[in-house]
Chain A
């Protein structure tokens, strides 16, 4: 069953079509990689799927609901309740500790629970760094805090924008291992990346070019 379905969506800025008649389905529990060169429309698509923007044309059905028709307030609620975001630049609040950064997501979602936040950090291997400020953590550690924050509210969709873009190979492998683990647990993952190595580990890989889907490849070796 589809968790997300894009039906002929376009995003038009004046004479520019950042997205041009894109249709895509993402099933529950699927791991999808969206690839493409700079300016291909990846970020625009990511913003629309992440409920931070609306398409000019078309429908975006998330969990059976057309989010293209939602108000800004409605989109904020969907973002809070259904989507976990992972950023290339981590975007941690610099004056909050690792565990407090995870709790911020709980704070907006429901009730902050420090024990649960510590468990989420433990899951990404950062239990002993919970009381550290972002400035005291390495890039890989900051990204893992960002992942713990994205997971804490058990979102239906995890959306990662270039999650390994600022990491070295060792940390990239750690992050991809976490993604594998999440996928095995049934999470739905959409990873936007320009890195073929990251794209190729996904179940399916969609490539964008000039705002259109250029190719769609199913990873035959996935899970082997």
Chain B
């Protein structure tokens, strides 16, 4: 048998046959490994999770006509948006605003892609339903109150360019039906929303948009990079970030990641203290054995090697257990907090094991070094 095999036989015998004693240390390391692995998974997954959460607050970038242009066209917007990674671009909604008359009241109408608003403005609360067919509209709650209209009511809207007086034909307008009332608590309640086709029918076809809203799954830095690329590539479009959304997203993420980092560091320190305490108890409990080994001719280096070997093996096993439990922990957090699952990162297993071994090694260092002070003569005296 080689010395290495005997070394392994001794340290595994110590861990297995003294398992009730070593379980406390293993538990401490496994808990540390679980928190480490779990929080690191969350740390790296939080931007993706939070990004998805923040998309619920609406678009984070808008396109308007560049200063040199009089109007923004959909073609120019689509061309400008081509620089955005297709996986990041979740939705793009055009808006054309016109003023129409309903019940003799001037009302601002927004022609848009109704389906697309569900992605770029997921926070819209519709009392009723989204328009299902041509001629159906959504009224902002303020507009509905002003006009005295509710869900299912019909009304007539007329559009005047201002030179209708010369026309022989009377402007009969277009009949429309309210499919839903929009409540957001914001300025959206002052508008009437209809499909672009309906607005073209009412106000005449015009390839001219006031704004295009975009919902992009990206962090603030990446969004800024997209804005720069668009300003370099497109003369017709000016891209702007919706700072209210992107800044709060960035702030929350930074704070959340700092919190996760801090908790991980604290847990690692606590693990180290727990392992160090356990190893101190183990060394104290085994003073007689250490004295005996010295009496048999073991050098300090050899004794330290054996205890460190036990500690590091514990660290490795604890790390392995922790990395698996950590994934379960991260998955539970992700499902309960973000309502979505996370992907398993295999690299986290060796990383958690290495960190656990390092933390355990560090924690064992002082107690194990104290073995050097043990006097083998005490063993002979039976003290």
Q: Which A residues are within 8 Å of any B CB, using their own CB?
A: 43, 46-47, 50, 52-53, 73, 76-77, 79-81, 85, 87-89, 91, 93-96, 100, 103-109, 111-114, 133, 149, 161
Contacts and interface: CB of A to CB of B under 8 A. Distances in A.
B2 A111 contact: yes
Given A76-B299, A80-B296, A91-B288, 5 more contacts: A95-B13, A95-B14, A108-B298, A112-B3, A133-B17
Given A89-B382, A93-B292, A52 B376 contact: yes
Contacts of A161: 380
19 contacts: A46-B380, A47-B377, A52-B295, A52-B377, A76-B297, A76-B299, A80-B298, A85-B296, A87-B380, A88-B382, A91-B288, A91-B295, A93-B293, A107-B7, A108-B302, A109-B297, A111-B1, A111-B3, A112-B1
Contact of A104 (B1, B2, B296): B296
A108 B295 CA distance: 10
A147 to B, nearest CB: 14
Contacts of B14: 95
Contacts of A103: 1, 6
Interface of B: 1-3, 5-7, 9-10, 13-14, 17-18, 288-289, 292-299, 302, 375-377, 379-382
A133 B14 CA distance: 12
Nearest to B376: A52
Contacts of A95: 13-14, 17-18
Contacts of B293: 93, 104, 108
B294 to A, nearest CB: 7
Contacts of B288: 91
B377 A113 contact: no
Nearest to B5: A112
Q: Is the interface of B mostly helix, strand, loop or mixed?
A: helix
Contacts of B381: 43, 47
Contacts of A85: 295-296, 380
Which of A81, A109, A112 has the most CB atoms of chain B within a 10 A radius of its CB? A112
Given A85-B296, A91-B288, A43 B380 contact: yes
Contact of B10 (A46, A76, A96, A105): A96
A93 B288 CA distance: 9
B330 to A, nearest CB: 37
A105 B7 CA distance: 12
A91 B377 CA distance: 13
Contacts of A106: 6
B22 to A, nearest CB: 10
A53 B6 CA distance: 29
Nearest to A81: B297
The 5 A-B pairs with the shortest beta carbon distances in the complex, nearest first, are: A80-B297, A95-B17, A52-B377, A112-B6, A108-B297
A100 B292 contact: no
